[in-house]
Every structure is written in C-alpha cells, then in structure tokens.
Chains A and B, each alone.
Chain A
Amino acid sequence: MILEAREVKYTYSDGTAALKEVELNISKGQFTVLLGPNGSGKTTLFKVITGLIKPFRGEVRVEGRPFEEYTKEEIYRKVGFVFQDPNDQLFAPTVGEDVAFGPVNLGLSRSEVELRVKDSLDKVGIPNLANKPIHYLSYGQKKRAAIAGVLAMKPDLMILDEPTAGLDPAGVREIMRLLVKLNREEGITILMATHDVDLVPLYANGIFVLYEGKVVLNGTPQEVFSEKEIVRGAGLRLPRVAHLAEILVKKDSIRMDRLPLTIGEARRMVVSALKKDETRYEK
C-alpha cells in the first residue's frame, strides 16, 4: 500500500465534523477516484493525507510508515498535491519559474532543475510556455502548468482535487488522458477527487465514495455502481449509460448479465440483446 488512512477524524473549529473515521487504502500504481458530492469532505481528506492539516484522531501511513516519521522533504518527494484552482498553486511570475520552485527547494543543481522543468513541461504538453507569464495562460494551460509543478518533484503518488472542474469537454478529455499517461507510463499512483460519475468508469481502477465525512463504499467501478441505492443515497448518481441500461432492463425487459458503465459495454449489451431477439423471432 502506498497510502493508508486509519480512522481519520477531523472537525473544524465551527464544530463541523468533516471527516468521521475515514478508512482509505491505495495500492501502488492504481488510478483511484474519490467520489463524493460537494461538502462530503474530499478536500479536507486530501489536506489531511498531504499533511497540510493534522487529524484529530487516526493515522496516515505512506508506504507503511506513519506520516510523522517522514521529514517534510521526504514526504513531498513522495506525495504531490494539485489544487482545484490552479491560481492558488501557480505563484511564480512565469511557468518555468513555477515548475522550478519545487526542485530548487529540494536543493538540486541548476542543470538538474532545468532538466526537470523541461521534462515536466514536455510531459504535460506545454514545452513552449516556459517563459510565459501565468496570467496569460488559459484555464486548461494553468491546470497543466500546476500538474507540471508537482511532476517536477517526481512524486510516487499524485493527489488531484477535482482536476477537471471548470474545463470544457475537450479540456476534461485532455487532462484525463494526461493523468492516465502519467499513471501507465510513469508509474505514478493517481488519487483524484471528482463528482463527475461519468468519468470514473473510463479511467479508474478503484473508487472510494465519501459521504458526510465517511467512506460509504469502495471497490472497482463495477462493484461500486452495482450498489445503486448507496450511490444515490450518497448524493451521487449512476453513470448516464448505466442509468439507461437500468431503464432498458426495467421497462423494455432487456436482459443483461452486468451493469454497463461505458458506451462500449452498453453497445455490446444492446447488440447482444438485439441478436437474441432476432434469433427468437426467426425460430
């Protein structure tokens, strides 16, 4: 396990219990999604597992060792956090300087810093923006620059707070493809928060559903979305395709072995149902 959270509790000073005994296990190399409606505690949980705030109770372990045993430098080499609003994260005047910020703080040599900046910008697809002032970037470019800044620290685990929020469909697709590439090609474990349920089955290996500060479900997308009532009770919904399949089963008596979560799965299911229907008709 690269990350474990055990019975993590956190209450804000106004008395709001944001996290109530949260349990979380993330395996190395996984693409995990933390699903939850607004106010479910996703950002608070991320702040706890990145060490920005201390839990009132419970423990966070990174690669089997308690968080407290790591120095700041060690932990931030392993765990990177991308904020929801890139303007919070991009504080240097130019993209290149912002990406260089982490490596400089790690005490790397100038040539190594330059190499990491170039490498990170190449990976996120904005190598030509190194000298561009941040305020001239589009929102999508800012998101990429923010990811590059964290990538330059070469983390084993990258945590992203709603990376697709505020992006147009093309922007969402690009960012998700980038994250999948980083996960598969660079071997970086990804943990991202979202409430966009349609995205999840396409990219995630594992899901945790957080509701009112508690993990109410976890498992593969198939396992999680099979628990329709719990998903709906947690202020979420099924992916559109799964919802359509549910209606087809209920109202049109189409048979299916399992709930389709992607368009591909749904297509196969419908084609197979049509074929069965044709055979029956011919007989």
Chain B
Amino acid sequence: MVKVQVKRMIKESFLTVDAIAQRDNVFTRMDARLKVLFCMSILGTIIVLPGLRLPVSVVALTFTAVVMIRTPFKVILARLVPPLALGLIFLVFMLLTEGQNRLFTFHILDIEVSGYREGFLIGLTILARITASMAIVMFLSVTTPIYELGRALMWFRIPEVIVEILLLTYRYIFVLWDEGMRIREAQSLRLGYYVGSSPGGWKRSLRSTFTLMAMVVIRAYDRADHTFSAMSLRGYNGKLARNTYGAWNRIDVKSFVSCFVLVAALIFASL
C-alpha cells in the first residue's frame, strides 16, 4: 500500500513540477540562461570539490529557495526519494565493504558484519553529492518551464535536434499521458486489472499493461504522422525551435553578478 502511494506521489510530482514552474515568483522571473549557468556551475563544483560542506550548503540553500516559492512538501519528497534510496544503498554498501577502522560489529546467523569509518565517510560523501545534485536539478525544474529551458539550451549551442526532441517530448508527454490514462480506465472498467484472490489475476493485469503500452506506441505513431502533416502545411523546413533571446538586460547582469558571488562564496566556504 505504502509502495503504491509512493509510486503515485512520484508520478504526480512530475506533472505538478511543471505547474509550479509556471507560477510568477522571483526565481521564475529570472533569465533561464542564468539559472542554467548557475546550476551547471554548482553541479560541476559539487562533483569536483571534496568534503561535505559544499553539498550540505547547497542542499540547505536550494531547500530554502524551493520552500520559499511554496513548493509542496510532497513534491520535494517525491523528487528526492528515488535518488536518496540509491544513495542510502551506496552508503550501506561502502560502510560494510570499505576501510579498516571498525565503527561497529554484529553477527547475523554466525556471520560477522562490520562497519568501517572510511567506508562511512565515502558513502556519506556520495549520498551528500547525490542529494545536492538532485536538489539543484529540482530547483531548476520548479523555477524554469521546459520551453524556457529549451531556449536557454539553444543559446548555449546545445544541438538543435536535442532541444527539439526535448520540446516535442514536453508537448506530447501530457497528451500521451492522458491517452494512456483513458485506456487504463477503460481497461479497469472491464476488469482488465483484476485485484483479488484469483490466481490468474496478475496475468490479466500484465496482459492489460502490455496492451496499454502497445496502444500508446501506436497512438504516438499516428499522432506523429498527423503532426508532421500539420508542420508541413506551415512550411516546415527542418527547424522547429528558434533562439528568441536578445541582449542581456540590466537586471540580468545584476543577477549574474549575484550568482557569481554566491557560487564563489560557496566554494570558498567549502575549502
């Protein structure tokens, strides 16, 4: 039951994040290029610099920022649960396998299990880096709508084809999600996902899931065909996205300097 709720929470969070990024606040008003630059430099620094201070400061800062713009706690948790789970697995693995200085020892069925100080520190660093990286990506996603992110990426000379795929995915993922949900509901109404004591119930559910997946692929193909026709009728010449950025304005320059100072301060504090 808890597993199902967590799964649902994670799915919903991906849809809610987009809605949060549409809100008007101090961060969504900032130039997307600046946010991308800031987040990428922080990410790079987190990966390169040793120690726990920088990741912990980044987590604290980004949490303050996302809470400040009233991001629901459920969304924050849902975005962090999968990477945190992965990080904790790493932590346990490193704790039990790396190092020489024992922190503790216990026995399971006559097998001696020991935890080591060095492994704990390495595991903790990995966990902190994963959490900080996820926190910074979460900050970017709740403050920057995907289409703005796409434009910013084009400005940074990311290949157009990648940006176009990103933008088309963003446009059609909601359409296909709705279609998938409609098929699922139609299947459920005709007992396609039998939940009960029937021993063959899981087989039926599996069959329905595969049918659903196949139908979504077929519909995506049909839609792609129609969309290509619509694009051709409006003179499609191989170019979908366009760079609409003009010159940086005065507020952007101020924000740029503030971000630069913030990144420098974080690096200095962590050394």
Contact = CB atoms under 8 A, between A and B. Distances in A.
Interface in A115-155: 133-136, 149-150, 153
21 contacts: A52-B233, A72-B235, A73-B235, A76-B233, A76-B234, A80-B233, A83-B229, A83-B230, A87-B175, A89-B230, A91-B171, A91-B231, A91-B240, A92-B240, A93-B145, A93-B170, A101-B234, A102-B235, A105-B239, A150-B234, A153-B235
A85 B223 CA distance: 10
A104 interface: yes
B5 interface: no
B231 A133 contact: no
Q: Which 9 A-B pairs have the closest CB atoms?
A: A105-B235, A93-B147, A88-B226, A102-B234, A135-B174, A89-B230, A91-B227, A81-B233, A52-B229
B115 interface: no
Size range of the chain A interface in the assembly: 20 to 34
B171 A134 contact: yes
Interface of B: 18, 22, 145-147, 150, 167-168, 170-172, 174-175, 223, 226-227, 229-237, 239-240, 242
A4 interface: no
Interface in A177-213: none
Among B18, B174, B175, B233, residue most surrounded by chain A Cβ atoms (within 10 Å):
B233
Given A88-B226, A88-B227, A134-B171, A105 B237 contact: yes
A1 B51 CA distance: 77
A52 B242 contact: no
A93 B171 contact: yes
Nearest to A91: B227
At the interface, is chain A mostly helix, strand, loop or mixed? helix
Interface of A: 47, 50, 52, 72-73, 76, 80-81, 83, 85, 87-94, 97, 100-102, 104-106, 133-136, 149-150, 153
B171 A76 contact: no
A150 B230 CA distance: 10
A101 B171 CA distance: 15
B177 to A, nearest CB: 9
A109 to B, nearest CB: 13
Contact of A52 (B168, B227, B232, B237): B232
A136 B23 CA distance: 13
A89 B145 CA distance: 21
A135 B175 contact: yes
A153 B230 CA distance: 13
Contacts of A80: 233
Contacts of B227: 88-89, 91
Contacts of A76: 233-235
A136 B230 contact: no
B171 A105 contact: no
Nearest to A132: B22
